[in-house]
Structure 1
Amino acid sequence: MKITITRPGELGEPELARWRELQKASPALDNPFLSVEFALAMDRLRDYVRLAVIEDANRIVGFLPFERHAFGIGKPLGTWLTTCHGLISEPDLRLDARALLRSCGLTVFDFDHMVAGQPTWKEFESAIREAPIMDFTAGFQAYLDQVKANSPKNYKTIRYKERKLGREQGELRFEWASRDTRTMRILMGWKSDQYRRTGRVDRFAQPWIVRLIDELHAVETPDFGGVLTMLYAGDTPVAGHFGLRTATTMVGWFPAYDVEYARYSPGITHHLHMAEHAAANGLLHVDMGKGGREYKSWLKNNAVLVSEGRVSRPSAAAAVHWMGRAPVNKARNIVVERPSLYRLADRLLKRFGRVRTSLLHSESPYEEPSGAR
């Protein structure tokens, strides 16, 4: 077994084709965060992006995109920004995980959205969790019937609010796969406001993330693309989403809505329209990602499994890293596993966000697009 460390941007066409071949061969890898296009975009923007190319008998059997930080600390590609990571490899590939880390120049490798059950990582998995998905393999109507069965009261309420929004604010219109950068900036503005309002870190305050989204939004191929959707009441945008897709699966990434219309629950209405258009455009799944949002429990009709865990090699850096991360991870897992604690934590973050927003009166951290960024 031969492992070569390089960068995604240094791959040639044969290696890129092999990556795509391996990804398509395994349904578990049908996620755009595992696509070569995402790795190439990250590589253009971040110096710490690396790639392990794994060969056996002069044949590529796998790729591991990862981040290499100071002191040999390793993270999956995209780490906190993405909802799926893993080896893009032949399904039965099993490597010595610690030997792989050594080849990558890493002392530790933490993961929390790994494709569950991959042989290389399986013994290091500390938890396996469900990521809810909207599954249209039996058709959109079958999906919708399941949503109604999951929570008839919620479904009835959302449809009532949808009709009310149309009557009071203008006829509803849904736009699928918008290419308009101004529409993207509207969505980003809502999302930044949500981050601040709920006490979270504003991801769009980092210019490289804004550029990443812009680059991915511009990609449109049969096997990969950025999908911007928007729900309008009349001519007014009220809720939207930006996600990535493969040929058959889209991942939920940045959903947001205009809080002025919150009483109509436009975000959930948007999700139902998005599901219908996704199915009509040939997609089979929308992966909503793991997390404690209650709306996911009744919008889902299936789930995929992702795992959390840690691999380390004996070193002072790994020990220090563990001491810093272990209490945080344990506390997070306790909160996630207990709905009452999750709701309490969410309320506290929102309270913090209101206080912070009242103290800060700064402009948006990004500018309106005036051309290529």
Structure 2
Amino acid sequence: MRVSVVQPRDLGPVDIDRWRTLQGADAAFDSPFLSPEFTITVGALQERVRVAVLHEGQDVVGFFPFERHPMGIGMPVAAGLTDAQGLVHAKDVEIDAQSLIRACGLAVYEFDHLIAGQPLLQPGHSRHPSPIIDLRDGFESYIETIKVTSGKTYRSTAYKSRKLQRDAGPLRHDYATTDLAPLRTLLGWKTEQYRRTGRNDRFARPWIVELVERFLATDTEHFGGVLDMVYLDDRPIAGHFGLRTGTTLAGWFPAYDTAFAKYSPGLIHHLAMAEKAAEAGIQVIDMGRGEKEYKEKLKNGEYEVSEGRVARLSPGAGVHWMLRVPVRKARGTVLANPLLRTTADRALKTYGRLRTSLQSSS
């Protein structure tokens, strides 16, 4: 096998068509985060993005998008933002993980959402569920399932939706709008959520805001950004921005106006989004890995993703192990224990409140 490493902008139309063909040939690759458009758009904003093109004879048999950091540290494209990572490759091709990262000039490749069936997977890698809303049998079938598995949540959400409309007026849902104004409202809510819960604000980095805005303006048969908002009269109260292929919508940035928190606007919105997405031809909404209560309530299936690293003997891999592996193991221990996870979440929220208070008084 021959591997050539290029920048995303160097991929030609033939390469992109081949990438799409390989992606469409295996349902495991049906995620917008594995689409060529995602890598190309991120690569236009981040110089560290590369694509390894895998050749067998005259045939291109795979594409491996990654970021190359100092000391040969490799990471997924837009690491920390993606819920599906890995290679897009032909089904029967044999790929040696060590040889691949060596050909990419990497000492180590670290991942946290590697999709199932990847040649990069090794026995020691930890595996995690990634909840989905499966709409392949239609929205009505999904709702009937939720009534059984999360009946209390479904009835409560329906009641709160009716009460909200009695108290404040009718609801309106705009699906797949391309208006920048509601996007900026949504990102503002998300920033407030990050700060409130003690997390880092992703949108404090201008390139991520630019990335989202570029995706909002993208709408093709194979890939696009999807912004949808629920309004109370003309006031937005909840929304979501995600990415799609022709049949999969990846959950990315959901948020809501906390002034309406008692009505559970996030759940109201997600059910409305699922209905509109199904009408638009979406078969799966991938909500992504994460211990979130709303995901457990809304899911009717799940994928599996893995976390770990592939490394070869090198100083860079040794430094990476010391800096990252003990921290990742400690975080995994916390997330796997409900009591520790709840305690950590409360600590972060307390930190968020203190940080917000200090910022307000300064």
* Contact in 2 for aligned 1:125/1:307 (Cα 8 Å): no
* Structure 2 runs not aligned, ≥5 long: none
Instruction: Give 1:144's aligned residue.
Output: 143
Partner of 1:91: 91
Counterpart of 1:276 in structure 2 is 275
Identity among equivalent positions (%) equals 50
Say which is worse superposed, 121-130 or 155-164, in terms of deviation: 121-130
Residue-by-residue CA offset, 1:158-188 (whole Å, 9 max, x unaligned): 1111111111121011110011101100001
In structure 2, the residue matched to 1:370 is none
| Equivalence for 1:165 | 164
The residue number in structure 2 matching 1:360 is 359
Matches within 5 A, 1:7-86: 7-86=7-86
Gaps of 5+ in 1: 364-373
**C-alpha separation between the residues in 2 aligned to 1:124 and 1:71?**
26
Cα deviation code 1:247-302 (max 9, x no counterpart): 00000000000011111110111000000000011110000001000111120111
Q: Residues 4-26 of structure 1: CA distance to partner in whole angstroms, max 9, x if unpaired?
A: 01011101111110000000001
Root mean square deviation of aligned Cα: 1.3
Matches of 1:155 and 1:253, distance apart in 2: 22
CA contact under 8 A between 1:291 and 1:336: conserved in structure 2? no
Residue matched to 2:223: 224
Deviation at 1:125, TM superposition (A): 5.1
Aligned length: 362
SS at the partner of 1:80?
A: coil
DSSP 3-state at the match of 1:306? strand
* TM-score normalised by length of structure 1: 0.95
TM-score by length of 2: 0.98
156-165 or 192-201, which moves further after superposition?
156-165
In the TM superposition, what is the alpha-carbon distance from 1:92 to its structure 2 partner? 2.8
Partner of 1:339: 338
Once residues 205 and 115 of structure 1 are traced to their aligned partners in structure 2, the CA distance between those partners, rounded to angstroms, is 29
Q: Distance in 2 between matches of 1:147 and 1:362?
A: 45
- Equivalent position of 2:114 in the other structure: 114
Q: Which residue of 1 aligns with 2:304?
A: 305
Q: CA deviation at 1:361?
A: 3.8
* Mapped partners of 1:16, 1:167: distance in 2: 51
C-alpha distance in structure 2 between counterparts of 1:93 and 1:265, whole Å:
47
More moved, 287-296 vs 123-132: 123-132
Aligned match of 1:367: none
Point out 4+ residue stretches in structure 1 off by more than 3 angstroms: none
SS in 1 for 2:246: coil
Structure 1 residue 206 and structure 2 residue 205: aligned? yes
- Matches of 1:320 and 1:121, distance apart in 2: 21
- Which residue identity is paired with 2:346? R
User: How many angstroms does 1:99 deviate by?
Assistant: 1.2
Comparing 35-44 and 144-153, the one that deviates more: 144-153
